[in-house]
Structure 1
Amino acid sequence: MARTARERITGDPTSSTIYEVLMERISALSGCEIQENASSFHVARGRAFLGIHPRRGGILVNIVLTRQLESPRVFRAGCVSANRWHNEIILLDPAAVDPELLLWIREGYDLTA
């Protein structure tokens, strides 16, 4: 059984494809560092603004923003401090890495400047 985040991504064709598309889009953002943890990846520019958590058949992304996203795509959102919200979105298809998602990711990225 796959234990690390990398093993979980590469061991699932759907997760692997979504991850590749997501990384391709994120690579356009300058100064980002991918931090691999035991169970997830964090994308940071000084501080983490995006969490990537492998799931069977997909990926859960956690976008750190100063607001709660109002969208049916949001699986869960939680206020973790006065000005920080974690917004979780489950991606089950590479097509879910769309302009709306990329706009939210860019918003999180811009907050780290």
Structure 2
Amino acid sequence: MEYTELDHLKDKEPIVAGIYEELIKELQKFGQLKIEPKKTSIHLGNRFGFAGIYTRRDYINLEVHLNHKLVSKRVSKVEHASANRYHHTIKLTSLKDIDKQLLEWLKEAYELKK
């Protein structure tokens, strides 16, 4: 089955679509962006996958893939995914959450080499 971005946004509060659209708009400023809707999430990639979006009823869990562990109150979960990858879950509940710090983390993830 093919999944679309709309599949992930239907039956959600309007803020979820607002956060998603703003996030994608900001990420497109980095350069080429691959958006791959899957069954449970939307994968974001450049050359490699650098982030994932998990929509919930009234917020988004954003997973950012970095080669080091972030230490921040904003990170609700860290998973050591492989030898040189950490997946960080950050809860986005409003447009204010898409701030300079978050975009710096995403830019770093976007630019990572394998």
Is the pair's TM-score, using the shorter chain for normalization, greater than 0.5? yes
CA distance in structure 1 between the partners assigned to 2:93 and 2:29 by the alignment: 22
Contact 1:5-1:54 at 8 Å conserved across structures: no
The 8 Å contact of residues 49 and 112 in structure 1, kept in 2 or not, is answered as no
Identify the residue that residue 68 of structure 1 maps to in structure 2.
69
Name the % identity. Answer: 31
Unmatched 5+ residue regions in structure 2?
A: none
The answer to whether the 8 A contact 2:33-2:46 is kept is: yes
AA matched with 1:91: L
Aligned pair count reads 111
The letter of the residue matching 2:11 is: G
Change in CA separation of 1:10 and 1:29 when aligned onto 2, cut-off 3 Å:
farther
What is the alpha-carbon distance in structure 2 between the residues aligned to residue 43 and residue 14 of structure 1? 20
Residues 78-97 of structure 1: per-residue CA shift (max 9 Å, x gap) = 11111110000010011100
Shift of 1:4: 6.8
TM-score, normalised with respect to structure 2: 0.89
Q: State how 1:33-112 maps to structure 2 within 5 Å.
A: 33-112=34-113
Query: Deviation above 6 Å: which 4+ runs of structure 1?
Result: none
Stretches of structure 1 lacking an aligned partner (at least 5 in a row): none
Q: CA deviation at 1:36?
A: 1.0
Aligned AA for 1:94?
Answer: L
Amino acid at match of 2:70: L
Structure 2 Cα separation of the partners of residues 10 and 99 of structure 1: 28
